[in-house]
Structure 1
């Protein structure tokens, strides 16, 4: 029983740290700044639902998919790093502060941003996907697999609650505070992007030099 508790605690803490909903929140606040509370709630709900099923799918079949398509986690890190860097650059220049969407485009916009970039790669990024694949390999019993899926669900639920509460933070910060926070987070996102990029590039270059 203790090993199940230990495995569950490891799964929850690792997923929560890698997903980092508190770090995702400023970006979520920025790209949904012109949506009302209900639309923002719907966006957060869809993003976390998509993230949950994506993480579960990769946990159960990620290794097979990577082998079938010849995709490596390192390649995923490089692509994620490029996406994060572009997003961080836009945040740094406050380009995301005013996203004007007409009423007729609201539904399409919510669907777009909830899947990309919110669900993938911000919530369900290379680190979280890799973590799910690795932990699934360590989960030898059915009970461990159930614990892993429950840990993913709990982390996504906490992420949804944090994103849903961001509307109150938007009102508290105001437009100026939101722009300042966006620029600060832009710097952090760009640093994370560089780390992602080179952590994926380094093993590929090392493998090429061996050849």
Structure 2
């Protein structure tokens, strides 16, 4: 139980907020409107699988990539924290990135495969979520058991995303746009606090 609260829950919260399955749900609905039977279910499966693959890749290769570029983990914590804070502000006030992605994809007919863009990237595996997974894994560098909790939380968020996408019509009618907006803004506040902590930890790491 201690490991759940100390390892799994913080990772799950960070990834859930940055991957934002609740906020992505109405966008998924608008992008997958189609008279073709099974199209929405197919896009849900593909987008989540591709998004998970991208996140999994950066979970294990992200830190090595940073080392190749000569970027220290404290420096990335500061940069990642700033990026996550910007994402939090967008969630609280206005989410232009998602609106832009939805508008670009809506220009294409429903026959097109929208699972890669914009669903998997950047809605599921966006800059904020990729930065989060790299930071979470780097904090547990060399500890396979602790990193397993991060991967487990990633799997859990992806399963929730698939579940929400698949049942998006029912959830939209149940909660409505107003409640969805309120939830998204509350998650944005939480993300802002977590981003601030990343920046503080990064500064401490640089001056230590």
TM-score above 0.5, yes or no: yes
CA contact (8 A) 2:62 2:134 kept: yes
TM-score by length of 1: 0.63
Aligned residues: 171
Q: Which residue is equivalent to 1:127?
A: 128
Q: CA deviation at 1:166?
A: 1.1
Aligned CA-pair RMSD: 4.0
What stretches of structure 2 of length at least 5 have no aligned partner?
88-94, 189-194, 196-208
TM-score by length of 2: 0.64
Change (3 A) 1:63 1:40: same
In 1, Cα distance between the equivalents of 2:27 and 2:48? 15
Q: Which residue is equivalent to 1:101?
A: 109
CA contact (8 A) 1:31 1:96 kept: no
Structure label with greater radius of gyration: 1
In 2, Cα distance between the equivalents of 1:155 and 1:47? 13
Q: Which residue is equivalent to 1:23?
A: 23
Aligned positions of 1:166-177 closer than 5 A: 166-168=168-170, 172=173
* Deviation per residue, 1:140-185 (Å, 9 max, x gap): 4221121111110011000000011013357x59xxx9xxx5xx98
What stretches of structure 1 of length at least 5 have no aligned partner?
193-198, 200-211
Aligned residue for 1:33, secondary structure, equals: coil
CA contact (8 A) 1:4 1:144 kept: no
